[in-house]
Structure 1
């Protein structure tokens, strides 16, 4: 028998380090070749790491939430044959004995620490076998956890039938919670949940955004003409198999494309990297529209690329595809990065007004609130009309209030007179 070291692979796209989001196996488990053993986070994408060989899990590198560099030790397997431990360079081999020295005679026996020049995150773990999961945290894949959250189930109450007690999708689907007990009782339970994985990425980005001065402008939009047009187009699409249903988002995407053509400074990134000189504004000709999407794991922003080149139906179909991929956890890193301006919407739950937070380094975000029937003054009297508020936030370092107001008024004009969305003049 030998020891096989699994190291953090190079995921590409210049990723230098990843965060352990979840262990999918535990010490003592038998794993097959290509079986996922860990889920790691890169930006907002979760990637499952497969075992390159079959074996038995001996140890894991660290607890979930730990950041490891590419090339760092991830897991040890006991395998048939010699394994690959002997092929590991001595400077990084965890089982290499420390160099003899008189001063170390009284010190506890442990591996030689790596040279100071090695990055701290890249140091391989030399600790004894550790559990691959947080105590009391059941073993389950991210998609299974998402399904349990959707159904309001506690995984700790479900018995897993997979290897090592791992909870499978079928376990969640077949679980029936016990009937609630009658009577009211005090609940003294306290639960501490580590903020790791996607939740930590969101937390870090929101924390960074609070350092940017925001200005938010809220404007009311009368959308009766837009809703009439949308209903007629959907009625026509219903007669064509495979045609995408039009929500409000494709029209908003088109309106944003038209509005930033007049104000290209809002389709931009504000860059403040001190190593590259003074702050600068990077303006984009392409409109890569971020669509903020709520998923069982948290908020992610899949990107509608080149919205300026897509028709209404194409936009609707691509938004639907991206949303499905994001909610299913299958969106790629490329589909979750590179946006130049963002739309955020709470859908039917949307309030009267919101205060969107910028998706840095972008300088503008468009918040969409729910449509509701409200009194509308026609000049001679009040009529009930479908009304919607737009809540748009801007980076006040580079977008003045006047420029933000001009942008919002242009969006209002386009949405209240939707024929302008398709005008060539």
Structure 2
């Protein structure tokens, strides 16, 4: 038996360390060659590390959330034979088959069988139930229902009174009455004068214990980026109300004749409007290097789409959004969202955005104050579409309205520019025919 030390390899240019997101193994586990052992996160992507040899795990480098330097020990594996012979000579050699290389004898681990536990028979369960029945007593969880016994006469009350007592958790045997049966007035008196005994609220939620959750992985990246954004960028937010009645009608018509194309949401139409308005407002489609003091105004619109995943908020990027039509945008939105949620998004698909669009969909609320995706200088957030009465001349008509929020970096974007940009977008959305003409 020998001990093989697997050191964290170089997993990206310029990467000095990586964070342990999660272990697939624990000390004592048997692993095979190329079996996943850990997920490591860098600033660019999450990489799945595989075991280069077969053996038994004897030591792990740390816990989820710990930082491991490149070249440091990741795991130690006990192998059979010579550890130097078992280990691949280089990263390149792992992908090539070496003639004459001695195979490592692998002993399959024996499964541990749990001792059978004798289940109680149906007759014994029935007997226990009958014995327990004689000890039932009225309590706050049975709504005051008391079975007639020799020592406890039946309690008379209407079904409505019983239902109300059950909701409040009141034991009807504790309620006094001067009539032949318990009435609502008796319950009111009990609630007024018997509060010291305690009764549960109509809706009782289960109490869960406190727990501590370590902020690691994607959640920590999000926390660091958001803190840096608020710390370095002086935000301001502008909100405008937009009448999207005509836009929604157009969207319904397009969806009715979409064929096998994906169903259009509001987002592709909004992106077309943004891309049409941005050439007149280049200060918004930009990135600010505050250390160098340089603002780069981009000609192409690489639009980040904030996407909620199980791991947290990710921002896949639609490249050259200005060159795509609404159907192409709808396809790309769906593809990138699926890739982000399943963890299949490539690192280049998660970086390089010049402007970000964030939407909560049906949870969009009345207005939002989105946080800028640094080093960008602006972020746009559409809110929920609601129907309200509005004046059209002297007439009151139903209209579909949506608030559009924009947060900007006040160091490089003036409030006048942000407001003027949103007004330009508003004109396009309220007269949607202009979305499809030059």
Question: Match of 1:378?
Answer: 392
Deviations 1:272-292 (A, max 9, x none): 23xxxx411011112111000
Q: Post-superposition shift, 1:14? A: 3.5
Instruction: Give the conservation status (yes or no) of the 8 Å contact 2:385–2:401.
Output: yes
| Equivalent residue runs for 1:208-357 within 5 Å | 208-211=228-231, 212-237=233-258, 240-241=259-260, 243-273=261-291, 278-357=292-371
Deviations 1:179-203 (A, max 9, x none): xxx6868847221111111110011
Aligned partners of 2:428 and 2:11: how far apart in 1?
42
Instruction: Give the conservation status (yes or no) of the 8 Å contact 1:2–1:83.
Output: yes
Aligned partners of 1:235 and 1:315: how far apart in 2?
18
Aligned partners of 2:76 and 2:85: how far apart in 1?
9
Question: Match of 1:41?
Answer: 41
Bigger relative CO (Cα 8 Å, ≥ 6 apart): 1
Instruction: Say which is worse superposed, 35-44 or 278-287, in terms of deviation.
Output: 35-44
Q: Post-superposition shift, 1:86? A: 11
Q: How many residues are matched?
A: 327
Question: Match of 1:27?
Answer: 27
Aligned partners of 1:13 and 1:389: how far apart in 2?
43
**1:356 partner SS:** coil
Question: Match of 1:404?
Answer: 418
**1:318 partner SS:** helix
Aligned partners of 1:354 and 1:295: how far apart in 2?
20
Q: Post-superposition shift, 1:5? A: 2.0
RMSD of Structure 2 on Structure 1 (CA): 2.3
Runs of 4+ in 1 over 3 A off after TM superposition: 84-88, 182-188
**2:257 partner SS:** helix
Instruction: Give the conservation status (yes or no) of the 8 Å contact 1:5–1:84.
Output: no
Question: Match of 1:158?
Answer: none
Point out where structure 2 has 5 or more consecutive residues left out of the alignment: 89-110, 113-140, 142-199
Question: Match of 2:194?
Answer: none
Aligned partners of 1:43 and 1:374: how far apart in 2?
45
Aligned partners of 2:435 and 2:69: how far apart in 1?
48
1:423 and 2:421 matched: no
Bigger radius of gyration: 2
Aligned partners of 1:286 and 1:15: how far apart in 2?
29
Q: Post-superposition shift, 1:253? A: 1.3
Deviations 1:276-320 (A, max 9, x none): xx4110111121110001111211111111111212111100100
Deviations 1:55-105 (A, max 9, x none): 2111111111111222222111112332249999xxxxxxxxxxxxxxxxx
Instruction: Give the conservation status (yes or no) of the 8 Å contact 2:53–2:87.
Output: no
**CA 384–87 in structure 1, closer or farther in 2 if over 3 Å, else same:** closer
Point out where structure 1 has 5 or more consecutive residues left out of the alignment: 89-162, 165-181
Deviations 1:240-283 (A, max 9, x none): 23x1211111111111111211111211111023xxxx411011
**2:68 partner SS:** strand
TM superposition score normalised by structure 2: 0.71
Aligned partners of 1:186 and 1:251: how far apart in 2?
44
Q: Post-superposition shift, 1:400? A: 0.5
**CA 379–332 in structure 1, closer or farther in 2 if over 3 Å, else same:** same
**CA 39–87 in structure 1, closer or farther in 2 if over 3 Å, else same:** closer
Instruction: Say which is worse superposed, 31-40 or 345-354, in terms of deviation.
Output: 31-40
Instruction: Give the conservation status (yes or no) of the 8 Å contact 1:352–1:389.
Output: yes
Question: Match of 1:67?
Answer: 67
1:203 and 2:223 matched: yes
Q: Post-superposition shift, 1:13? A: 5.0
Instruction: Give the conservation status (yes or no) of the 8 Å contact 1:18–1:41.
Output: yes
**1:33 partner SS:** coil
Aligned partners of 1:298 and 1:307: how far apart in 2?
24
Aligned partners of 1:210 and 1:343: how far apart in 2?
18
| Equivalent residue runs for 1:185-204 within 5 Å | 187=207, 189-204=209-224
Instruction: Give the conservation status (yes or no) of the 8 Å contact 2:53–2:86.
Output: no
**2:308 partner SS:** strand
Deviations 1:359-418 (A, max 9, x none): 000001000101000122212222111110001000001000001111111111111111
Deviations 1:330-373 (A, max 9, x none): 21211111111000011001100010000000001000101000
